[in-house]
Structure 1
Amino acid sequence: MREIKDFTKNKKINFKKLEKFGFKLKDNSYYYHTFLLKNQFKMSVKINLDSSIFSEVIDTETDEPYILHLLEEKRSGFSEKVYKAYSEVLEKIKIECFEDNIFKANYTKEIIEYAKNKYGDELEFLWEKLPNNAVLRRKSTNKWYIVILTISKKKLGIDDDEIIEVINLHNTAEEVERSIDYKKYFLAYHMNKKYWYTICLDGTVELEEIYKKIDISYELAK
């Protein structure tokens, strides 16, 4: 089997979904088998507990490994069809069995789950060159109410090069002005500093307090 590089970058396995998809656990690895192009090829996928993934395509007539679909410069009409069928299986596995794991801070994960459970909203990654930044927007108005960013503390005026995850939230001008203390609440990074502020997702502000601020930001996104 050949390892598929970068397949699980910024992704994490949902093991329950693997089993639901049809993977079987054996010797600490998950295995899945399917057939391509009307049983002309058998495709096998192996996923280890560290999220590394391997695949193999076997020609059912010769019982030999088929690799032409992996050689981009040699793919032609038929091998292109094999590659398309092979890629569709992998993409389905990625969609149904893996979840985004871009943000690492526990606070960030809790906030994403909070917004998902309360408002039914999912992260949107709008900037191709900034894959570690995302927004959540209110469906009824399409307006942002959460912006999650990965930045250096120095961007907030803190004398520290540490890279952290932060949240930008909306509030009234009066409340923003009252809240800014450069310890828990900072002038909004890269947003309107009159109506938005930034909180570091490092435990400086308790989650329950952030949840209340999220609810206010959501209401203001009407």
Structure 2
Amino acid sequence: MELALSNLEPSLETLSQYGFSNNQDGFILTKSLGDNLNAIIKIDKDFAKIKVDVLDSQTTELFQPFYTKITTNYSNHVKTKVNDLVKEILDTCFTKIDHQEKLLKYCQETFPTVIEKPWKKWPEYQTVKATYNNKWYALFMNVPYYKLQPNSTNTSGVEILNLKLDPQVITTLLDNKIYFKGYHMNHKTWISILLNKQTDLNKVKELINESYYNVTKQK
């Protein structure tokens, strides 16, 4: 089990208090799940991801039912315990970085803007429209990471911002780390920006300005 920590800021003190030990590769914790099973929780040194393995405490071998798609009542029980443990760690030892809130506020304070949540199926998606012509100039979404990186096996959700930019600008920005081809949009004129700890918000604000100007043709 592996999850991205793209929008979470760690508390080193709280991680230590929780029981994590620090080594050159990051933080690690062994936690008993009962029934002779241990969860090994690893957080990499860059705080980019958290990984959990489940081992038989007697043989120290991987508990294979945790890794297979074939489910039983017992394997589901173990997976639930692991999910609850990870949630507790994230809630206790990490703080959410809310780039979306900051950028939405910037849009409202900078341009005449209408913010909407048009899809009941995806209530976290928010469109940002120019009141001048009622056209989108920004779209906030939460998508599985592998949607941006098809070769990735990371299924955890990440926050992205779609903006409309000049094709030449998009070409210079694309790095498949922070800047990606526009998800569910025209790849020539839209770009998707991953909102995480490495994102330069000042740069993103400049690109929001460009997107607004491209949509409204106003300077």
TM-score (norm 1): 0.51
Answer yes or no: is 1:107 the counterpart of 2:83.
no
Identify which of 116, 141, 161 aligns with 2:155.
161
Aligned counterpart, 2:129: 137
What displacement does 1:203 show? 2.4
CA distance in 2, matches of 1:109, 1:183: 22
User: Which amino acid in structure 1 is aligned with residue 122 of structure 2?
Assistant: L
What displacement does 1:132 show? 1.3
Give secondary structure in 2 for the equivalent of 1:181.
coil
Aligned counterpart, 1:123: 115
Identify which of 197, 208, 218 aligns with 1:214.
208
Aligned counterpart, 1:192: 186
Large movers: runs of 4+ above 6 Å: none
Query: Unpaired segments of 5 or more residues in structure 1?
Result: 1-103
Answer yes or no: is 1:181 the counterpart of 2:175.
yes
CA distance in 2, matches of 1:128, 1:117: 27
What displacement does 1:105 show? 4.4
CA distance in 2, matches of 1:202, 1:129: 24
Between structure 1 and structure 2, the one with the greater Rg is 1
Please give the residue correspondences for 1:1-222 in structure 2 after superposition, counting only pairs within 5 Å.
Answer: 105-157=97-149, 158-222=152-216
Give secondary structure in 2 for the equivalent of 1:186.
strand
Give secondary structure in 2 for the equivalent of 1:140.
coil
What displacement does 1:159 show? 3.9
CA contact (8 A) 2:115 2:127 kept: yes
CA deviation vs aligned residue, 1:61-120 (integer Å, no higher than 9, x gap): xxxxxxxxxxxxxxxxxxxxxxxxxxxxxxxxxxxxxxxxxxx74111100110111114
Give secondary structure in 2 for the equivalent of 1:221.
helix
Distance 1:200 1:126, change over 3 A: same
Give secondary structure in 2 for the equivalent of 1:123.
strand
Percent identity between the two aligned chains: 26
Give secondary structure in 1 for the equivalent of 2:113.
coil
CA distance in 1, matches of 2:128, 2:170: 20
User: Which amino acid in structure 1 is aligned with residue 167 of structure 2?
Assistant: A
What displacement does 1:169 show? 0.6
RMSD between superposed Cα atoms in Å = 1.4
CA deviation vs aligned residue, 1:46-71 (integer Å, no higher than 9, x gap): xxxxxxxxxxxxxxxxxxxxxxxxxx
Query: Unpaired segments of 5 or more residues in structure 2?
Result: 1-95
CA distance in 1, matches of 2:172, 2:132: 29
TM-score (norm 2): 0.52
CA contact (8 A) 2:162 2:182 kept: yes
User: Which amino acid in structure 1 is aligned with residue 187 of structure 2?
Assistant: K
CA distance in 1, matches of 2:145, 2:203: 21
